[in-house]
Amino acid sequence: MCDTCGCNVTEGNRHLIEGDGRLARTESGREAISVLQGLLSENDHIAAHNREHFDRHQVLALNLMSSPGSGKTRLLEETIAALKDEFRFAVVEGDLETENDAQRIRDKGVPAVQITTGTACHLDAHMVHNALHEIDLDQVDIVFVENVGNLVCPASFDLGQHRNVILLSVTEGDDKPAKYPVMFRAADLMLISKSDLLAVLDDFEPNRAERHLRELANRAPAFRVSARSGDGMQAWFDWLRSEFAALRERVQRGETMRPAIQPDGQLMHSHDDHAHDHAHDHGHGHAHTHHHHAAGHRHD
Amino acid sequence: MHELSVCQGLISQVEQIARREDAESVTRILLSVGPLSGVEPQLLADAFPIAAAGTVAEHARLDIESQPIRVKCDTCGAETDASANRLLCGSCGDFRTRLVSGDEMLLMSLELERRERA
């Protein structure tokens, strides 16, 4: 459980367990009060703040999630090399212990902030918020947040990103979307990475991986890419260009952009003080947007 | 394995509400946690005593209700049951559905013991 994996206390939530909740004891009756709030409303509050921050600087923020070793850093290295004259990048790296990934990015001439999570299994909005203080967003067009390699925990925490990009490498099983539905349901784009290895790994069937994604009612595009050979990278670059343009357009209209699927807390949160955040997302490229939010099954 | 993080967020909210309501203690917490929330109810229940220790919710009973996974089809309009990794329309089989329920991660209500007024 959490005590063993150690994700319980991070810098961002440490204060939550240091509250002074104790109250004097007296006699009185009981009362039930209705609350109806997302369980992560504090995280979601910071995430909304992060998103405003990105929007103000017209910076596209992408949350990269996958298993460990699926090629996130390699993808970023090649993306930076190919598009460095077109976009100004920055990278927030989540990693358990080392600075290695951040160093690889810096070697490409791009600012990278390492969040060393210790034994924590996910990034939360506080951690990203702290990292943003070290990045001059006026000098950036696209921020990649490379989440901790993990297909479970990161899915529950909104960081303030505009889109979720999920990598599935062909060295894994093509049934990963069926095994980790919460994660893959949240994908705005699925990249089937290391596709140059398909020639030797014939038990991975990309069409099957995509079918499992569709079975999660997910309409996101699925591209096969090889950062090593360059195959398929053009589609990924075009996706970046179109999402960047979409964000600019959205922000100029005073709106923002959100992942198609958001943890429930985000939905609840959007009813309070972050009014402009509530802008509906009807123009989303792949149409699935957050209809189920608009359906308002609980909060009306 | 992030359930303790989630639980700590919950306790923080509960403490805020208890302060606002001038409650002496919280006796019951009701959550709604769906199968597609990304949170395991049992792990949440296990983490609760650790997160609640020393707080106003220390002796609260934690109840977690679940919601069925239901989808509504964009193509044929049917609303049907589905499972976590198969969110297809139960009527026409189309994948263009949207979730009606099953991804909840909500604090529904609290039962409080009020502080006695002087």
The answer to whether residue A238 sits within a structural domain is: yes
Using a CB-CB cut-off of 8 Å, the residues of chain A touching B104 are 264, 298
How far apart are the C-alpha atoms of A178 and B85, rounded to whole Å?
Answer: 5
CATH code of the domain covering residue A185: 3.40.50.300
Report, as ranges of residue numbers, the positions in chain A whose pLDDT lies below 50. 1-28, 265-266, 268-300
Residue A292 touches chain B, beta carbons under 8 Å: yes
B62 in the same domain as B20: yes
% residues pLDDT > 70 (chain B):
97
The answer to whether residue A298 sits within a structural domain is: no
B109 in the same domain as B96: no
Q: Tell me, what's the pLDDT at A187? A: 98
B84 in the same domain as B46: no
Q: Which residues contact A82 (CB under 8 A, 6 or more apart)?
A: A233, A237
Q: Rounded to a whole number, what is the distance in Å from the CA of B33 to chain A's nearest CA? A: 9
B25 in the same domain as B73: no
Q: Tell me, what's the pLDDT at A293? A: 38
Q: Tell me, what's the pLDDT at A99? A: 87
Q: Tell me, what's the pLDDT at B117? A: 62
Which residue range(s) make up the domain with A221? 42-251
At A165-194, the pLDDT tens digits run 999 999 999 999 999 999 999 999 999 999
Q: Which residues contact A49 (CB under 8 A, 6 or more apart)?
A: A125, A129, A160
Burial call B53-74: b when 16+ CB within 10 Å, e when fewer: eebbbeebebebeebebbbbbb
In this predicted model, which residue has the larger pLDDT, B34 or A287?
B34
Cβ distance of A156 and B99 shorter than 8 Å: no
B73 in the same domain as B61: no
The chain A residue lying nearest B45, using CA atoms, is A1
Question: How distant, in Å, are the alpha carbons of A111, A204, B20, B35, B105 from that of B29?
Answer: 45, 45, 16, 19, 13
Cβ distance of B114 and A38 shorter than 8 Å: no
B87 in the same domain as B37: no
Q: Tell me, what's the pLDDT at A298? A: 36
Q: Which of A150, A292, A299 would you mutate first to test chain B, the one with the most B CBs within 10 A?
A: A292
**Residues of A numbered 213-252 whose beta carbons fall under 8 angstroms of chain B's beta carbons: which are they?**
214-219
Cβ distance of A23 and B6 shorter than 8 Å: no
Question: How distant, in Å, are the alpha carbons of B51, B74, B113 from that of A93?
Answer: 28, 38, 45
Q: Rounded to a whole number, what is the distance in Å from the CA of B74 to chain A's nearest CA? A: 10
Residue A34 touches chain B, beta carbons under 8 Å: yes
Cβ distance of B12 and A42 shorter than 8 Å: yes
Q: Please state the domain count of chain A.
A: 1
CATH code of the domain covering residue B42: 3.30.2320.50
- Residue count (chain B): 118
Which residue range(s) make up the domain with B86? 68-101
